[in-house]
């Protein structure tokens, strides 16, 4: 036997094989191979995180304390919102991304996925929500568009509770919906840092719900639009819309081939006579219960061509606008003129007024206690029931974005 | 769990050397290595807690295996694999193991291979395609691993097999799982390599004179081994040595050879008589061809072998009986000398004892007259080569000895035996330390010998045979001296057990005689007159030496009995036995003057019978038969005489009656009534060596 097992007879392959196997056999005994690898630790972390996320339906983001290698749980939140959105999208059909307070610099446009709603305004520790106290700011950096929902997003996908700031680029858009129809609510959108085109929300071939947002259209030299709809029958409810430019390029809401529903919004019509509160082109909109005001004789509603005749123009307040309503061959500078004109064209137009809204102040457009627009709507619209402050409206409703002061 | 894995590994390592079957000598040397490449795609199932992290995955391992040539059934291998394991976090885990290991493979059926393997090495694992990671990002790590596999494969053809395998693998610190895999293997063929190989060959030094002996006792051996991975059958071997074989000697090896098995086979060789033409030692090239069947295909391997052949006269003395090889009784020169001597002996008036005795004397005389002389072989004297049985002696064929007219003791013994055997007389070799000489069977019992010879100690009695020893090297002193010398040498060494007698016929059964293939013509026998003269001198001396005291004793008894026929008949028989027929006739006639004494009638008939005067013989046998019709001896004499007269009806009649009276005696003379070719041929000798039964009371 010794002869058979002599090293020379066995040869190097056998000796080498036995040696390696002996070493491997000893490793667990010595504990060297018995410990979990860092890879396994990470896998366990993710598997547990995955279970938690799928159970809660939520991925958490904390731009300060989180890291993107975290699983995205409350205890171990993600750092970046996009990473969290993609994770939630991979793990769930319907879920949320909750974003803690803080300013999030977005170097890429944030892509919102269908079914994954985005909520801001959370406390970093404890994850209680108060969007006023725990402000979540999404600030674009060198990007034209801060948020862009992916195509196919429906109103089940919500963007809620953020301050969305477009920064100093030529064409600055806070949210751009293209072939997507999210619900955009309770956000503060500020496109004022842009230069050429400054747009709060741009909808293209989309049907979003835009509810209770404050939109600063900025002062773009070519275009300063609060909400621009192109082929997009958006629902625009309880929003505060204004611009800061005085070069006549401002449009509070611009509809092009878009049969939008515009109800209970407070819209500053501009700071220049060429500015317009609601501009319609090839659009048959419903405009009700809105407050359209101006301190610079800007136009309330402009009808660009007969194809842009509205469907309804009811209960709107035109304060300081001049004209109230403008069309191709003329303009209406009184409520009566406007309703007569629209009536001639079979447009439902009634109960419009030009009362002073009696805002709380020049920068606070809540209705003062003596405002004639308070509780002025006895036949409230359907489809929404909250004002800009996310308060439930009570019947009778007040006109404009705010139910009360 | 980890400890359990280690324990399994250690048990496997301990079990390998513990199996005596595996390392038995027959399997210890397996020759060339095998090389295999295997691919094992399969499914893997994480075990225990790992099932909470991973789901069923897939794996594939590519293995390169190398047979360890010196250890049966054991392979070493290197492997690289890839496992893709889904992680229960919408992620994927890829593992690439890189390791070495050992396989234990055995064919449980000819085409079915069972396998167990152990591997170890280092793995690299990477988590990727994970929503928890950025796009394109991966996290990797590494650690040792251990895997155990067992399964079986079926060989579709010698180079390709398919099978199933179960496995356990522990990627330490990451995952451990069970697996089930398909196994596809490619067994790399080695060009020009047959599954059966000739490991070693050994061919004895060949002696031409033994060429017929080699038919039964192969002079070579080879160790063959199945170095392939499958059993082989239909193993056929052939050996060819041109021109000393008419065609290759082919033989079958019946039992199949298992993988790794070694077997020693004998190399069979059927030579022709050309080998006897070799007069100088030389080396030749023989070819051994081995073929076998494996997977329905025949494979062949060849080996050229150097074969050393000695000259035709060489021989070693491990066995003294080998001398019988040279006793070529049918050599033309031997037959010529023997025939000439027979004729001479028959011409002699003297006919003592029996024909064998007389032929031995006649041949001895013939050799003396021929000028044969004893000369010790200067190169290899028998005395010296006997000290070392493997030393080579130079022995002459009878023809060569006759041609040289000289030889040493073995040459002369061989010649003398050949001469006697050529006339159907049984001979033997007698060996004493350092010497060999001849003996001839007289064809009589010890009892009969006692009546013929005064000194029985000059004869050798073994197994109911009476042997007459003849020291054939003594040619000058005459036959009687050679006899006496031979008898003395036997007596001197018999007590110490150093004297041995080997009957040539028995030796021939092992070592059949070999004759030189051609030649032999032109032999000139010695002058018959000279031979006859010397022969007669020898016999007369013998008769005088043996007969005179016996005659005196008989005459004393006749006188004492008052000329009783019985005593006179005894004297007649004494003369007759020594060939003094005239003196014998006188005594028998002297008896018949007074009465029809049957023994005298029979003995007188015998004398005429021996003188071939069958009519006279018949006359006396008839007279005896008239007196005693139931005498078996008389009936036999009548049958034989009628036979000689070619009166076969009468022969049959008397033979039938003899058969009734004495069946055993009739059986000895069956040729009288059954005449086959062989018996007729035998009769030709009987006519010379015929015997008669001298009748005495």
Query: Are A21 and B5 an interchain contact pair (Cβ–Cβ within 8 Å)?
Result: no
In a domain, A73, yes or no: no
* pLDDT attached to residue B180: 97
| Rounded-to-integer distance, Cα B63 and Cα B616, Å | 105
Of the candidates B515, B416, B419, which has an alpha carbon nearest to the alpha carbon of residue B208? B515
In a domain, A77, yes or no: no
Q: Provide the chain A residues 104-123 that lie in CB contact (below 8 A) with chain B.
A: none
Q: How far is A5 from chain B (nearest CA, A)?
A: 8
Placement of tokens 């894995």 in the chain: B5
Residue B100, burial from CB neighbour count under 10 angstroms (0-12, 13-18, 19+): buried
Residue of A13, A70, A97 to mutate for B, most B C-beta atoms under 10 A: A13
The beta strand positions in A41-169, using DSSP E, are 58-61, 95-100, 102-106, 110-112, 116-122, 136-140, 145-149, 158-160, 163-165
* pLDDT attached to residue B253: 86
Q: Which two tokens stand for residue B276?
A: 């006897």
Task: Check which CATH number belongs to the domain holding A205 and give it.
Answer: 2.160.20
Q: Does A43 touch chain B (CB under 8 A)?
A: yes
Confidence of residue A27 (pLDDT cuts 50, 70, 90): low
Task: Please give the helix or strand (H or E) that residue B600 lies within, else none.
Answer: helix B598-610
Q: Which two tokens stand for residue A276?
A: 């317009």
Tell me the per-residue pLDDT of B115-127, one tens digit each, with 9 for 90 and over. Answer: 999 999 999 999 9
Q: First CA to last CA across chain B, in angstroms?
A: 109
| Rounded-to-integer distance, Cα B386 and Cα A274, Å | 144
| Rounded-to-integer distance, Cα B239 and Cα B445, Å | 49
Task: Please give the helix or strand (H or E) that residue B633 lies within, else none.
Answer: helix B632-644
* Chain A contact set for B172 (CB, 8 A): 27-28, 33-34
In a domain, A199, yes or no: yes
Q: Does A307 touch chain B (CB under 8 A)?
A: no
Confidence of residue A315 (pLDDT cuts 50, 70, 90): very high
In a domain, A51, yes or no: no
Placement of tokens 């889904």 in the chain: B86
Query: Are A10 and B69 an interchain contact pair (Cβ–Cβ within 8 Å)?
Result: no
Question: Which of A13, A33, A83 lies closest to B173 in CB terms?
Answer: A33
* pLDDT attached to residue B671: 79
Question: Which of B6, B88, B174 lies closest to A39 in CB terms?
Answer: B174
- For residue B69, give the chain A residue with the closest CA: A10
Q: What is the dihedral of CA B602, B607, B613, B616, to 10 degrees?
A: -40
Cβ atoms of A259 and A285 within 8 Å: the answer is: yes
Q: Which two tokens stand for residue B577?
A: 């036995």
Cβ atoms of A212 and A392 within 8 Å: the answer is: no
* pLDDT attached to residue B669: 81
For A334-364, give one letter per residue: b (16+ CB within 10 A) or e: ebeebbebbeeeebebebbebeebbbeeeee
In a domain, A107, yes or no: no
Query: Are B120 and A21 an interchain contact pair (Cβ–Cβ within 8 Å)?
Result: yes
Helices (H), B206-331: 213-216
Cβ atoms of A388 and A240 within 8 Å: the answer is: yes
Residue of A17, A23, A111 to mutate for B, most B C-beta atoms under 10 A: A17
Q: How far is CA B533 from CA B360, B365, B369, B453, B479, in A?
A: 15, 9, 10, 23, 13
Q: First CA to last CA across chain A, in angstroms?
A: 102
In total, how many domains does chain A have?
Answer: 1
Residue B522, burial from CB neighbour count under 10 angstroms (0-12, 13-18, 19+): exposed
Q: Provide the chain A residues 133-152 that lie in CB contact (below 8 A) with chain B.
A: none
| Rounded-to-integer distance, Cα B546 and Cα B349, Å | 17
Task: Please give the helix or strand (H or E) that residue B367 lies within, else none.
Answer: helix B355-370
| Rounded-to-integer distance, Cα B161 and Cα B182, Å | 11
pLDDT score of A397 more than 90? yes
Residue B690: phi and psi, rounded to 5, are -65, 150
Question: Which of B88, B99, B127 lies closest to A50 in CB terms?
Answer: B88
The beta strand positions in A179-290, using DSSP E, are 183-185, 188-190, 197-204, 209-211, 214-216, 223-230, 235-237, 240-242, 250-256, 261-263, 266-268, 276-281, 286-288
Residues (pLDDT < 70) of chain B are: 1-33, 69-70, 191-192, 377-390, 518-521, 674-690
In a domain, A193, yes or no: yes
Helices (H) and strands (E) in chain B, counts: 19, 24
Task: Please give the helix or strand (H or E) that residue B501 lies within, else none.
Answer: strand B500-503
* pLDDT attached to residue B14: 43
The beta strand positions in B193-343, using DSSP E, are 196-203, 220-226, 233-240, 249-253, 262-267, 282-294, 297-309, 314-316
Tell me the per-residue pLDDT of B197-253, one tens digit each, with 9 for 90 and over. Answer: 888 999 998 999 999 889 888 999 999 988 877 788 899 999 999 999 999 999 998
Q: Would strands B249-253 and B435-441 be described as parallel, antiparallel, or unpaired? A: unpaired
Query: Are B68 and A4 an interchain contact pair (Cβ–Cβ within 8 Å)?
Result: no
Helix (H, G, I), strand (E, B) or coil at B687: helix
* pLDDT attached to residue B59: 96
Of the candidates A309, A256, A257, A302, which has an alpha carbon nearest to the alpha carbon of residue A279? A302
For chain A, what is the mean pLDDT?
Answer: 91
* pLDDT attached to residue A9: 47
The total of other beta-carbon atoms located within 10 Å of residue B108's CB is 9
* pLDDT attached to residue A23: 61
| Rounded-to-integer distance, Cα B443 and Cα B457, Å | 17
* pLDDT attached to residue A405: 64
Tell me the per-residue pLDDT of A91-101, one tens digit each, with 9 for 90 and over. Answer: 999 999 999 99
Q: How far is B231 from chain A (nearest CA, A)?
A: 23
* pLDDT attached to residue B666: 85
In a domain, A42, yes or no: no
* pLDDT attached to residue B70: 67
| Rounded-to-integer distance, Cα B23 and Cα B10, Å | 19
Cβ atoms of A292 and A301 within 8 Å: the answer is: yes
Q: Does A68 touch chain B (CB under 8 A)?
A: yes
Q: How far is A219 from chain B (nearest CA, A)?
A: 37
Q: Which two tokens stand for residue B481?
A: 């001296």
DSSP B421-488: HHTT--EEEEEETTEEEEEEE-S--HHHHHHH-S-GGGSEEETTEEEEEE-TT--SS-HHHHHHHHHH
* Chain A contact set for B144 (CB, 8 A): 23-24, 27, 32-33
Q: Does A49 touch chain B (CB under 8 A)?
A: yes
* Chain A contact set for B87 (CB, 8 A): 43, 46-47
Residue of B15, B173, B175, B176 to mutate for A, most A C-beta atoms under 10 A: B173
| Rounded-to-integer distance, Cα A235 and Cα A215, Å | 15
Helices (H) and strands (E) in chain A, counts: 5, 30
Q: How far is CA A25 from CA A34, B25, B174, B346, in A?
A: 11, 31, 16, 100
| Rounded-to-integer distance, Cα B653 and Cα B660, Å | 11
Q: Does A15 touch chain B (CB under 8 A)?
A: no
In a domain, A21, yes or no: no
Separation of CA A249 from chain center: 23
Cβ atoms of A49 and A72 within 8 Å: the answer is: yes
Q: Which two tokens stand for residue A62?
A: 């904390």
* Chain A contact set for B88 (CB, 8 A): 47, 50-51
Question: Which of A14, A83, A91 lies closest to B134 in CB terms?
Answer: A83
Q: Does A12 touch chain B (CB under 8 A)?
A: no
Q: How far is B85 from chain A (nearest CA, A)?
A: 12
**HSE-CB for B677 with a 13 A CA cutoff:** 0
| Rounded-to-integer distance, Cα A299 and Cα B51, Å | 68
**HSE-CB for B143 with a 13 A CA cutoff:** 27
- For residue A76, give the chain B residue with the closest CA: B132
Number of A:B CB contacts under 8 A? 142
Cβ atoms of B266 and B220 within 8 Å: the answer is: yes
Instruction: Tell me B49's DSSP state.
Output: G
Whether the link from the prior residue into B367 is cis, omega within 30° of 0, is no
For A244, the domain range is 144-350
Q: How far is A318 from chain B (nearest CA, A)?
A: 51
Placement of tokens 């050996």 in the chain: B239
Of the candidates B99, B69, B14, which has an alpha carbon nearest to the alpha carbon of residue A10? B69
Task: Please give the helix or strand (H or E) that residue B535 lies within, else none.
Answer: helix B528-561
Cβ atoms of A102 and A76 within 8 Å: the answer is: no
Q: What is the dihedral of CA A126, A130, A134, A137, to 10 degrees?
A: 120
**CB contact set of A174 (below 8 Å; sequence gap of 6+):** A145, A146, A147, A164, A165, A166, A189, A190, A191, A199, A200, A201, A215
Q: How far is B94 from chain A (nearest CA, A)?
A: 11
Query: Are B132 and A5 an interchain contact pair (Cβ–Cβ within 8 Å)?
Result: no
3-state DSSP percent of chain A in helix, strand and coil, to 5 = 15, 35, 50
pTM of this structure: 0.61
């Amino acid at each position: 036997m010794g002869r058979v097992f002599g090293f020379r007879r066995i040869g190097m392959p056998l000796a080498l094989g036995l040696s390696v196997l002996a070493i491997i056999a000893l490793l667990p005994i010595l504990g060297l191979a018995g410990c979990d690898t860092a890879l396994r630790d990470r896998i366990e972390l993710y598997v547990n995180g995955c279970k938690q996320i799928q159970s809660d339906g939520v991925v958490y983001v904390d731009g300060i304390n989180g890291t993107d290698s975290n699983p995205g749980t409350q205890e171990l939140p993600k750092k970046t919102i996009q990473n969290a959105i993609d994770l939630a999208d991979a793990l769930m059909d319907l879920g949320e991304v909750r974003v803690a307070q803080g300013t999030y610099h977005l170097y890429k446009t944030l892509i919102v996925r269908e079914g994954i709603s985005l909520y801001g305004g959370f406390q970093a520790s404890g994850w209680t929500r108060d969007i006023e106290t725990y402000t979540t700011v999404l600030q674009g950096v060198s990007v034209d568009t801060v948020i862009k929902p992916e195509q196919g997003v429906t109103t089940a996908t919500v963007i809620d509770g953020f301050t969305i700031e477009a920064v100093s680029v030529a064409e600055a858009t806070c949210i751009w919906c293209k072939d997507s129809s999210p619900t955009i609510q309770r956000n503060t959108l500020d496109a004022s840092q842009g230069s050429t085109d400054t747009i709060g929300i741009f909808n293209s071939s989309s049907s979003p719900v835009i509810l209770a947002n404050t939109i600063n259209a900025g002062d773009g030299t070519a275009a300063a639009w609060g909400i621009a709809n192109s082929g997009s029958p958006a629902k625009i409810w309880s929003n505060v819309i204004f611009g800061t430019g005085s070069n006549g390029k401002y449009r509070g809401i611009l509809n092009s081939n878009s049969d939008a529903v515009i109800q209970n919004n407070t819209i500053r019509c501009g700071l220049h006579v060429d500015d317009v509160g609601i501009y319609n082109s090839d659009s048959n909109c419903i405009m009700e219960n809105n407050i359209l005001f101006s301190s610079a004789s800007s136009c309330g509603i402009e009808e660009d061509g007969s194809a842009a005749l509205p469907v309804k123009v009811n209960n709107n307040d035109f304060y300081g606008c001049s004209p109230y309503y403008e069309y191709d061959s003329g303009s209406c500078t009184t409520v009566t003129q406007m309703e007569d004109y629209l009536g001639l064209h079979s447009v439902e137009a009634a109960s419009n007024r030009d009362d002073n809204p009696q805002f709380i102040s020049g920068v606070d457009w809540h209705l003062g206690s003596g405002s004639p627009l308070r509780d002025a709507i006895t036949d409230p619209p359907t489809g929404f029931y909250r004002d800009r402050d996310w308060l439930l409206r009570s019947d009778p409703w007040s006109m404009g974005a705010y139910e009360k002061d | 769990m980890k400890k359990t894995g280690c324990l399994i590994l250690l048990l496997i390592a301990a079990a390998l050397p513990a199996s005596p079957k595996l390392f038995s000598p027959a399997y210890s040397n397996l020759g060339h290595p095998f090389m295999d490449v295997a691919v094992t795609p399969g499914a893997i199932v994480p075990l225990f807690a790992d099932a909470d992290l991973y789901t069923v995955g897939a794996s594939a391992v590519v293995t390169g295996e190398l047979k360890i040539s010196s250890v049966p059934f054991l392979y070493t291998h290197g492997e690289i694999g890839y496992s893709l394991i889904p992680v229960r976090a919408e992620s994927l885990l890829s593992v690439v193991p890189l390791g070495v290991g050992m396989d234990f493979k055995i064919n449980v059926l000819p085409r079915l291979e069972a396998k167990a393997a152990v591997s170890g090495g280092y793995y690299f694992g990477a988590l990727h395609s994970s929503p928890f990671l950025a796009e394109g990002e991966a996290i990797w790590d590494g650690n040792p691993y251990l895997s155990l596999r067992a399964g079986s494969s079926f060989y579709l053809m010698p180079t390709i097999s398919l099978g199933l395998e179960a496995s356990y693998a522990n990627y330490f610190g990451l995952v451990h799982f069970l697996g089930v895999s398909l196994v596809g293997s490619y067994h790399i063929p080695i060009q020009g390599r047959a599954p059966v190989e000739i490991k070693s060959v050994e061919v004895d030094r060949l002696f031409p004179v033994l060429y017929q002996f080699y038919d039964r006792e192969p002079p070579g051996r080879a160790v063959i081994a199945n170095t392939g991975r499958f059993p082989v059958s239909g193993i056929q071997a052939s050996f060819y040595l041109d021109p000393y074989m008419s065609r290759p000697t082919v033989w079958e090896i019946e039992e199949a050879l298992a993988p790794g098995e070694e077997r020693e086979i004998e190399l069979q060789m059927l030579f022709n008589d050309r080998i006897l033409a070799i007069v100088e030692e030389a080396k030749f090239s023989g070819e051994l061809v081995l073929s076998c069947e494996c997977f329905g295909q025949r494979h062949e391997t060849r080996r050229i072998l150097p074969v050393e052949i000695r000259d035709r006269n060489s021989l070693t003395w491990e066995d003294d009986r080998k001398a019988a090889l040279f006793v070529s009784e049918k050599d033309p020169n031997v037959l010529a000398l023997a025939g000439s001597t027979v004729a001479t002996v028959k011409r002699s008036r003297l006919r003592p004892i029996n024909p064998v005795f007389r032929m031995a004397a006649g041949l001895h005389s013939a050799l003396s007259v021929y000028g044969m002389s004893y000369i010790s072989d200067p190169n290899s004297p028998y005395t010296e080569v006997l000290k070392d049985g493997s030393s080579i002696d130079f022995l002459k064929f009878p023809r060569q000895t006759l041609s040289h007219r000289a030889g040493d003791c073995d040459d002369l013994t061989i010649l003398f035996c050949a001469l006697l055997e050529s006339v159907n007389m049984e001979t033997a070799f007698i060996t004493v330390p350092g010497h060999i000489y001849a003996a001839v069977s007289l064809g009589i019992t010890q009892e009969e010998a006692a009546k013929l010879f005064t000194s029985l100690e000059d004869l050798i009695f073994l197994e109911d045979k009476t042997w007459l020893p003849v020291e054939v090297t003594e040619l000058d002193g005459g036959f009687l001296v050679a006899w006496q010398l031979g008898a003395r040498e036997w007596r001197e060494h018999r007590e110490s057990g150093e004297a041995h007698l080997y009957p040539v016929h028995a030796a021939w059964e092992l070592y059949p005689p070999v004759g030189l293939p051609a030649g032999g013509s032109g032999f000139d026998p010695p002058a018959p007159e000279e031979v006859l003269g010397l022969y007669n001198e020898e016999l007369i001396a013998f008769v005088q030496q043996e007969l005179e005291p016996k005659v005196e004793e008989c005459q004393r008894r006749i006188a004492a009995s008052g000329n009783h026929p019985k005593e006179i008949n005894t004297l007649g028989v004494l003369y007759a036995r020594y060939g003094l027929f005239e003196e014998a006739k006188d005594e028998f006639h002297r008896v018949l003057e007074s009465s029809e004494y049957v023994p005298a009638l029979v003995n007188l008939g015998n004398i005429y019978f021996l003188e071939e005067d069958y009519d006279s013989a018949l006359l006396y046998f008839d007279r005896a038969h008239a007196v005693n019709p139931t005498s078996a001896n008389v009936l036999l004499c009548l049958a034989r005489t009628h036979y000689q007269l070619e009166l076969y009806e009468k022969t049959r009649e008397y033979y039938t009656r003899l058969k009734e009276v004495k069946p055993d005696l009739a059986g000895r003379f069956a040729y009288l009534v059954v005449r086959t070719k062989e018996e007729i041929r035998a009769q030709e000798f009987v006519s010379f060596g015929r015997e008669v039964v001298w009748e005495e009371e």
